[in-house]
Amino acid sequence: IAGITQAPTSQILAAGRRMTLRCTQDMRHNAMYWYRQDLGLGLRLIHYSNTAGTTGKGEVPDGYSVSRANTDDFPLTLASAVPSQTSVYFCASSSTLYNEQFFGPGTRLTVL
């Protein structure tokens, strides 16, 4: 069982470019989340999806968009990357809103 996979593992991106971070889970979890982790700031929620077909904004949604076409996939898109989006991005999922979340291995993104 793979759990949650994320791709790419790392990426260096020029400012202004468009980038999609991929996230796939095989646990049939309803809820999925995108967090960014920054030194000294912990993890902050970018977007979430409680079930396929629905999404919502988290604490820091600006500059990011998501879609949830099916249960397994929850891609995160940066329409026009900026250096402040340099971070480590984690995808997570949970079976319900009340249960623990399981995290992917992360994507380290550098925007120059």
Binding site for other proteins (CB under 8 A): 4, 31, 33, 40-43, 45, 48, 50, 56, 58-59, 90, 92, 94, 96-98, 100-106
Provide the minimum distance between the beta carbon of 46 and other proteins in the complex, in angstroms, as a whole number. Answer: 10
Provide the minimum distance between the beta carbon of 47 and other proteins in the complex, in angstroms, as a whole number. Answer: 10
Provide the minimum distance between the beta carbon of 8 and other proteins in the complex, in angstroms, as a whole number. Answer: 14
Cβ density class 14-46: b for 16+ within 10 Å, e for less: eeeeebebebbbeeebbbbbbbbeeeeeeeebb
Q: Residue 53: CA atoms inside 13 Å, Cβ hemisphere, count? A: 0
